[in-house]
């Protein structure tokens, strides 16, 4: 017995000792630094050296966001700049549709793609390799300088060339000369990277609410690219100009540095609406008639922020964009926006918030609404019944726009018509107004069927001179500046390209438009003549004129171009509306079913634009229901519905056939018997 | 039932127009009837009357002895098919006399079961369309729109079948048929004359006579 007790005690001792040992062997908890707010830090220059203006160390150098924010142990600059806001399509292949249509497109994004213009003509990114300087339009350098850099936050094509070399370093390494032809390389032709430096991804542009875009963009105008981040952040004042060959000097604002020469600026994790709108407001106005204001948008009125629906990083819900430092911002799916299509619909959609009440969203009930409405009609269709600011429904690039305050002058080859087909001096308004001054111009959106659902949208219509190339599918565009110069020369001396004088106003709105055969011929002949005169090689090329999906090789000869049903033209954008959402009480259906199901409803019976100009210069329209492809309520697509229909149809035929035969025989017998 | 079905057929016309929402003329009919909400309200009211009429009938069938008896007599039998065959031969002159029917002839049974089936389909699919979310939770969660679409399709086609059967077959048999014109009021008061019974339901007549004789003995 004593032996048994002894062994039991030894066993208990061993187990206890082992447990204590095992507990002590647990991994010590890793100490993590408090996160969420950056501690005071030093600015660093491009070489990674500390900039300390308080102690006059490297105080003459502009700071480098890459070296400062992307310093070891801080942020992953490379991962961050994979975001599509930085790449702007660089490195992506165009979509199959784009490859078939556009000969000038090399990526699906603004950089190398269809630019941010609703329709041609616009500046096209020059190919990397070129043989004829006459045909080089916009180089990567011009891409920044031609005001595209105003919005694009740096990194991507503003930092590296198409082969992944940093522009300024590569230029020096290859012995390229600033402002020279540099082997007609589309990234370096007449570029001045070695002087201007490059534009790194500028973190503070989004993360500093007080960021000064005006000062930053001034550096783009002055070609002082690498000083842009310093000026925009307000940490230093930049004087001088590469463009004007004035020495560039930075003077840091010492008051923003502590005694050690470190800074702790006001930075936020989630950009404010004003930051997003700095870039998205103007294009949103032109393309969609967007206002993004509490007056027009129930979400902004409720205090929501852009990032609430368009989250990124750890706040993103969608696994495709979720993760630390991931700067892919949740996005929707625009018919004409093809940058990172694989990330379409990564934002929080209406359903997400309005089914679970996220951020205090009201729960959508839709009582009494047959469910196929929600299946076939996008939320936006009913909840954006009206738009309140003009949008460019038509952009033509074949006549000269003499209206006031259009700047820079080449933009005069664009003439816009609003959604009521009235002439619209959009750039004049942009020159005079901010978005707060948008004139009130209510209109009903056109409805399109896109990916199986009905959406409100602006399907842009276009007319432009183009180039057909032998053996190639799709079209090319002449250089925007050529068409501008052609008109400019004609305006100064009407005997030059005199056929252009034939183009007159037929619609009576005071604005000439190309619509009659002789006017079409005038455009085609004049463009051909101008290009020939200016040594543009037209071998294997033919000048044509395109109106929406009609390709005119002469005034009387045209062929149809393939396009999607939701498009007005294969060469003009389609912009869905998702912002400026009306409250439920103002949505379609709030006054009952007759909002749509009545003979005067806009939903089915509105006349929507098919071609901007007919023979009389007046618009040609089509019934909205026809555009949506309505033949009957599409209920046969679901196999269950289809077979239910088939069953009842055959049941009806068989039963009625039997009954009618029975009746006829019965009647015949009766009369036969009587006779 | 007469009132509800008549109201349902009339109010179904503009609702049928809804199937072609892109037609201005057909949408105009909806407007003429006072708009979709008004039409729906009337249609739903008529539908509820039909539902209660059908529910009353079921109650009558289950609870009342005569209801049970008639329901059982309504069941299709081999004789009904024999009568149909006989009747067709009679129609085409191969027989000299029509078949002799009992309390319910085969075409009356067809009428009854047509209406019975019609009520089940129309009331069932109507309720699904009236309460789609409840139907979704009760029937099969997640199939809401499919169930609704199937119900809509069945309701639409069954309505056409029922209306055509009503206005062609039923109308012929009880009103237009030369021997019946302009129709009897049996649907209203539920009574039939002995003469009519003798002529149209001789077997029942015979049965009643036998029963009377048996009772007298």
Query: pLDDT tens, A309-338?
Result: 999 999 999 999 999 999 999 999 999 999
Instruction: Say whether residue A436 is in contact with chain B using an 8 A CB cutoff.
Output: no
Distance CA A458, CA A447 (A): 8
Query: pLDDT tens, A210-236?
Result: 999 999 999 999 999 999 999 999 999
Among residues A195, A226, A256, the one where a domain terminates is: A256
DSSP-assigned letter for residue A117: S
Mean pLDDT of A299-315: 95
Residue A666 lies in a domain: yes
CA nearest B135 in A: which residue?
Answer: A371
Q: What DSSP element (H or E) covers A482?
A: helix A480-492
pLDDT band at A375 (very low <50, low <70, confident <90, very high): confident
Residue B33 lies in a domain: no
Residue B10 lies in a domain: no
Residue A127 lies in a domain: yes
Distance CA A232, CA A238 (A): 10
Cα-based angle A582, A584, A588 (whole degrees, multiple of 5): 80
Judged by average pLDDT, the poorest of A15-29, A324-338, A610-624 is: A15-29
Q: What is the pLDDT of residue B189?
A: 83
Query: Tokens 């299946």 belong to which residue?
Result: A375
Distance CA A513, CA A520 (A): 10
Nearest-neighbour CA in chain B from A378: distance (Å): 15
Query: pLDDT tens, A494-507?
Result: 999 999 999 999 98
Distance CA A481, CA A313 (A): 41
Distance CA A207, CA A267 (A): 5
Strand partners, A125: A138
Strand partners, A131: none
Distance CA B69, CA A39 (A): 91
Q: For residue B197, is pLDDT > 70?
A: yes
Contact: B149, A597; criterion CB under 8 Å: no
Q: What percentage of chain A reaches a pLDDT higher than 90?
A: 84
Nearest-neighbour CA in chain A from B78: distance (Å): 19
Does A661 lie in the same domain as A626? Answer: no
- Which chain A residues have a beta carbon less than 8 Å from that of B32? none
Nearest-neighbour CA in chain B from A225: distance (Å): 55
- Which chain A residues have a beta carbon less than 8 Å from that of B37? 592-594
- Which chain A residues have a beta carbon less than 8 Å from that of B21? 596-597, 604, 625, 630, 633
Residue A485 lies in a domain: yes
Q: Are A574 and A458 in contact (CB under 8 A)?
A: yes
Distance CA A61, CA A216 (A): 16
Question: Which site among A351, A625, A644 would you substitute to test the B interface, given the most B Cβ atoms closer than 10 Å to its Cβ?
Answer: A644
Q: For residue A23, is pLDDT > 60?
A: no
Between B199 and B118, the higher pLDDT residue: B118
DSSP-assigned letter for residue A503: -
Nearest-neighbour CA in chain B from A460: distance (Å): 24
Strand partners, A32: none
Residue B15 lies in a domain: no
Between A497 and A11, the higher pLDDT residue: A497
Distance CA A489, CA A551 (A): 26
Q: What is the pLDDT of residue A16?
A: 62
- How many residues are there in chain B? 217
Question: Which site among A595, A641, A649 would you substitute to test the B interface, given the most B Cβ atoms closer than 10 Å to its Cβ?
Answer: A641
Angle between helices B36-63 and B65-74 (to 10 degrees): 100
Nearest-neighbour CA in chain A from B2: distance (Å): 21
Strand partners, A466: A544
Cα–chain-centroid distance for residue B75?
A: 15
Mean pLDDT of B208-213: 81
Residue B85 neighbours by CB distance under 10 Å: 13
Among A308, A312, A309, A284, residue whose Cα is nearest residue A296: A284
Residue A300 lies in a domain: no
pLDDT band at A632 (very low <50, low <70, confident <90, very high): low
Query: pLDDT tens, B55-104?
Result: 999 999 999 999 999 999 999 999 999 999 999 999 999 998 899 999 99
Does A68 lie in the same domain as A216? Answer: yes
Does A94 lie in the same domain as A220? Answer: yes
Q: For residue A85, is pLDDT > 90?
A: yes
pLDDT band at A541 (very low <50, low <70, confident <90, very high): very high
Contact: B27, A645; criterion CB under 8 Å: no
Residue A180 lies in a domain: yes
Maximum alpha-carbon separation in chain A: 127
pLDDT band at A33 (very low <50, low <70, confident <90, very high): low
Q: For residue A537, is pLDDT > 80?
A: yes
Q: What is the pLDDT of residue A372?
A: 82
| Binding-face residues of A in 319-378 toward B, CB within 8 A | 370-372, 374-375
Does A672 lie in the same domain as A595? Answer: no
- How many residues are there in chain A? 675
pLDDT band at A27 (very low <50, low <70, confident <90, very high): very low
Q: Are A366 and A374 in contact (CB under 8 A)?
A: yes
Among residues A256, A273, A296, the one where a domain terminates is: A256
Residue B30 lies in a domain: no
Query: pLDDT tens, A449-468?
Result: 999 999 999 999 999 999 99
Q: For residue B143, is pLDDT > 80?
A: no
- Which chain A residues have a beta carbon less than 8 Å from that of B177? 666-667, 670
Angle between helices B65-74 and B106-130 (to 10 degrees): 110
Domain enclosing residue A112, as ranges? 43-256
Q: For residue A3, is pLDDT > 80?
A: no
- Which chain B residues have a beta carbon less than 8 Å from that of A632? 19-20
Distance CA A138, CA A123 (A): 6
Residue B193 lies in a domain: yes
- Which chain A residues have a beta carbon less than 8 Å from that of B152? 370, 372, 635, 641
Distance CA A456, CA A444 (A): 9
Tally of domains within chain A: 3
Query: Phi/psi zone of residue A17: left (φ > 0), alpha (ψ -120 to 50 degrees), beta?
Result: alpha
Dig out the tokens for A7 from the structure: 């062994």
Judged by average pLDDT, the poorest of A61-65, A253-257, A660-664 is: A660-664
| Binding-face residues of A in 635-674 toward B, CB within 8 A | 635, 638, 640-641, 644-645, 648-649, 651-652, 655-656, 659-660, 662-663, 665-672
DSSP-assigned letter for residue A93: P
Residue A129 neighbours by CB distance under 10 Å: 10
Residue B66 lies in a domain: yes
Does A529 lie in the same domain as A557? Answer: yes
Does A525 lie in the same domain as A398? Answer: yes
Domain enclosing residue B180, as ranges? 47-216
Q: What is the pLDDT of residue A22?
A: 55
Residue B202 lies in a domain: yes
Residue B14 lies in a domain: no
- Which chain A residues have a beta carbon less than 8 Å from that of B19? 632-633
Strand partners, A545: A465, A552
Tell me how many residue pairs between chain A and chain B have CB atoms under 8 A apart.
Answer: 131
Among A64, A70, A30, residue whose Cα is nearest residue A49: A64
Residue B46 neighbours by CB distance under 10 Å: 20
Question: Which site among B145, B171, B177 would you substitute to test the A interface, given the most A Cβ atoms closer than 10 Å to its Cβ?
Answer: B145
Q: What is the pLDDT of residue A11?
A: 67
Among residues A204, A235, A256, the one where a domain terminates is: A256
Q: Are A605 and A599 in contact (CB under 8 A)?
A: yes
- A450: three-class secondary structure by DSSP: strand
Does A98 lie in the same domain as A72? Answer: yes
Count CA atoms closer than 13 A to B201's CA, side-chain side: 17
Residue A97 lies in a domain: yes
Task: Report the mean per-residue pLDDT for chain B.
Answer: 88
Contacts of B91 (CB under 8 A, 6+ apart): A662, A665, A666, A668, A669
Query: pLDDT tens, A576-603?
Result: 999 999 999 999 999 999 999 998 899 9
Query: pLDDT tens, A351-362?
Result: 999 999 999 999
Contact: A656, B153; criterion CB under 8 Å: no
Query: pLDDT tens, A378-422?
Result: 999 999 999 999 999 999 999 999 999 998 999 999 999 999 999
Q: What is the dihedral of CA B63, B67, B68, B72, to 10 degrees?
A: -160
Q: What is the pLDDT of residue A42?
A: 97
Among A379, A415, A454, residue whose Cα is nearest residue A606: A454
Q: What is the pLDDT of residue B131?
A: 87
Residue A279 lies in a domain: no
Instruction: Say whether residue B124 is in contact with chain A using an 8 A CB cutoff.
Output: no
Mean pLDDT of A291-310: 95
Task: Report the mean per-residue pLDDT for chain A.
Answer: 92
Q: For residue A169, is pLDDT > 90?
A: yes
| CATH for B205 | 1.20.950.20
Residue A667 lies in a domain: yes
Does A183 lie in the same domain as A208? Answer: yes
Q: For residue A527, is pLDDT > 80?
A: yes
Does A233 lie in the same domain as A181? Answer: yes
Does A656 lie in the same domain as A509? Answer: no
Contact: B30, A598; criterion CB under 8 Å: yes
Tally of domains within chain B: 1
Query: pLDDT tens, A141-151?
Result: 999 998 888 98
């Amino acid at each position: 017995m004593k032996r048994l007790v002894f062994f039991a005690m030894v066993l208990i001792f061993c187990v206890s000792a082992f447990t204590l040992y095992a507990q002590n062997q647990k991994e010590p908890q890793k100490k993590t630094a408090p996160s969420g707010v950056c501690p005071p830090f030093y600015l660093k220059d491009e070489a990674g050296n500390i900039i300390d203006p308080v102690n006059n160390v490297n105080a003459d150098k502009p700071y480098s966001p890459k070296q400062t924010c992307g310093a070891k142990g801080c942020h992953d600059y490379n991962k961050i700049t994979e975001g599509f806001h930085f790449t702007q399509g660089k490195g992506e292949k165009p979509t199959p549709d784009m490859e078939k249509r556009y000969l000038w497109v090399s990526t699906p994004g603004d950089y190398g793609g269809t630019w941010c213009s609703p329709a041609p003509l616009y500046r096209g990114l020059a190919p990397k390799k070129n043989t004829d300087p006459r045909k080089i339009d916009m180089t990567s350098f011009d891409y920044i300088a031609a005001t595209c850099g105003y919005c694009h936050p740096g990194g991507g094509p503003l930092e590296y060339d198409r082969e992944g070399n940093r522009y300024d370093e590569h230029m020096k390494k290859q012995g390229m000369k600033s402002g020279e032809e540099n082997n007609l390389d589309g990234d370096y032709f007449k570029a001045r990277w070695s002087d201007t430096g490059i534009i790194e991804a500028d973190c503070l542009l989004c993360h500093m609410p007080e960021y000064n875009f005006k000062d930053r963009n001034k550096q783009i105008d002055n070609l002082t690219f690498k000083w842009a981040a310093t000026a925009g952040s307000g940490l230093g004042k930049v004087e001088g100009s590469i463009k004007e060959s004035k020495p560039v000097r930075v003077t840091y604002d010492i008051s923003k540095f502590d005694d050690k020469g470190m800074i702790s600026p006001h930075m936020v994790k989630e950009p404010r609406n004003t930051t997003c709108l700095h870039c998205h407001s103007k294009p949103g106005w032109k393309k969609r008639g967007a206002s993004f204001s509490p007056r027009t948008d129930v979400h902004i009125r409720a205090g929501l922020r852009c990032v609430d629906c368009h989250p990124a990083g750890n706040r993103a819900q969608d696994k495709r964009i979720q993760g630390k430092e991931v700067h892919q911002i949740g996005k929707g799916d625009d018919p004409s926006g093809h940058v990172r299509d694989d990330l379409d619909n990564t934002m929080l959609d209406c359903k997400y918030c309005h089914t679970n009440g996220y951020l205090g969203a009201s729960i959508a009930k839709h009582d009494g609404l047959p469910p196929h409405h929600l299946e076939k009609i996008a939320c936006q269709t009913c909840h954006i019944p009206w738009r309140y600011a003009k949008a460019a429904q038509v952009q033509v690039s074949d006549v000269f726009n003499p209206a006031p305050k259009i700047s820079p002058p080449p933009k005069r080859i664009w003439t816009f018509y609003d959604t009521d087909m009235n002439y619209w001096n959009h750039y004049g308004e942009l020159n005079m107004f901010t978005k707060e001054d948008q004139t009130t111009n209510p209109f009903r959106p056109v409805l399109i069927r896109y990916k199986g659902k009905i959406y409100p949208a602006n399907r842009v219509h276009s007319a432009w001179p183009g180039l057909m190339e032998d053996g190639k599918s799709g079209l090319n565009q002449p250089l925007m500046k050529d068409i501008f110069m052609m008109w400019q020369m004609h305006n100064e001396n009407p005997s030059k390209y005199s056929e252009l004088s034939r183009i007159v106003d037929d619609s009576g709105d005071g604005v000439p438009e190309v619509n009659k055969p002789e006017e079409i011929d005038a455009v085609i002949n004049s463009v051909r003549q101008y290009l020939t005169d200016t040594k543009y090689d037209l071998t294997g090329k033919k000048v044509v004129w395109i109106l929406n999906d009609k390709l005119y090789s002469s005034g009387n000869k045209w062929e149809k171009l393939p396009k999607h049903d939701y498009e007005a033209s294969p060469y003009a954008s389609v912009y869905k509306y998702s912002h400026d959402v009306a409250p439920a009480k103002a949505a379609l259906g709030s006054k009952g079913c007759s909002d749509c199901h009545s003979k005067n409803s806009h939903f089915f019976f509105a006349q929507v634009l098919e071609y901007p100009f007919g023979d009389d210069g007046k618009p040609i329209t089509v019934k909205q229901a026809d555009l949506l492809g309505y033949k009957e309520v599409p209920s046969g697509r679901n196999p269950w519905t289809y077979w239910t229909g088939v069953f009842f149809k055959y049941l009806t035929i068989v039963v009625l056939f039997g009954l009618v035969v029975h009746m006829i025989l019965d009647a015949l017998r009766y009369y036969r018997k009587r006779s | 039932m007469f009132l509800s079905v008549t109201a349902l057929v009339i109010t179904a016309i503009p609702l049928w127009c809804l199937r072609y929402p892109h037609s201005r003329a057909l949408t105009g009919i909806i407007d003429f009837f006072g708009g979709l909400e008004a039409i729906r309200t009337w249609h739903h009211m008529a539908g509820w009357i039909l539902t209660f009429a059908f529910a009353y009938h079921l109650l009558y069938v289950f609870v009342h002895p005569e209801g049970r008896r008639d329901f059982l007599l309504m069941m299709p039998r081999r004789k009904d098919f024999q009568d149909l065959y006989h009747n067709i031969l009679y129609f085409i002159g191969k027989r000299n006399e029509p078949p002799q029917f009992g309390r319910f002839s085969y075409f009356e049974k067809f009428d009854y079961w047509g209406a019975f089936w019609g009520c089940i389909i129309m009331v069932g699919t109507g309720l699904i369309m009236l309460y789609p979310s409840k139907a979704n939770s009760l029937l099969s969660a997640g199939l809401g729109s499919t169930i609704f679409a199937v119900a809509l399709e069945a309701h639409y086609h069954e309505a056409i079948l029922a209306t055509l059967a009503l206005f062609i077959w039923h109308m012929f048999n009880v009103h237009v048929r030369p021997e019946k014109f302009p129709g009897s009021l049996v649907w209203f008061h539920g009574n039939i004359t002995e003469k009519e019974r003798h002529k149209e339901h001789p077997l029942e007549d015979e049965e009643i006579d036998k029963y009377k004789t048996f009772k007298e003995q």
